[in-house]
Amino acid sequence: MGVNTVEREGVSYSHPAKFVLVGTMNPEEGDIRPQLVDRFGLSVTVKGEHEPQQRVEVIKRRLAYEQDPERFTVQYEAEQQQLAGQITQARQLLPKINLPDDLLLLTAKVAIVLEVDGHRADITVIKTAITLAAFAGRTTVTPEDLRQAARLALPHRMRRRPFEEGVLDWDKIEAVFTEHRA
């Protein structure tokens, strides 16, 4: 078990954690070194909303939170409890998840076609696919679980030069999936 340290605006808080989360927002401060990026299991890029109604909803929720944080929290408590329950059920289901050998082979083929270095990406895709199946309440991993896992585990590993944006060639991936179905 490790320690998670959160630092913001001069305040530092540490607590035991079984995971590490790295967040960065300011590109002007520079990118994270490529040799560290590969050690990240999953990567999600968060961008501003471009659909006007969704932006309005973000603004409304932020203002509602600032006006009355306690009331805002209560408003979403049932939804949060439902999600927490789903996570608890998924944890219990994890040891029962079946991963067909053909999906292991499919994962390896995707990594080879994309010229991914090492095996860390393959393992991360598999672990993520297993987790997605459990979260969905299923006991068998599907090709769609692998697709979703690839979207989280591979883009940041596609960089060929430092500070280059990782881009996945989805046509290559789909060709491997199509060949797998045949």
Active site residues: 120
Residue 166, token pair as written in the block: 């990782």
d(CA 136, CA 93): 10
Estimate to the nearest angstrom the gap between the alpha carbon of 82 and the chain centroid: 20
**DSSP codes of every residue in the chain:** -EEEEEEETTEEEEEEESS-------GGG-PPPHHHHTT-S---------SHHHHHHHHHHHHHHHH-HHHHHHHTHHHHHHHHHHHHHHHHHGGG-B--HHHHHHHHHHHHHTT--SSHHHHHHHHHHHHHHHHTT-SB--HHHHHHHHHHHSGGG---STTPPP---HHHHHHHHHHHH-
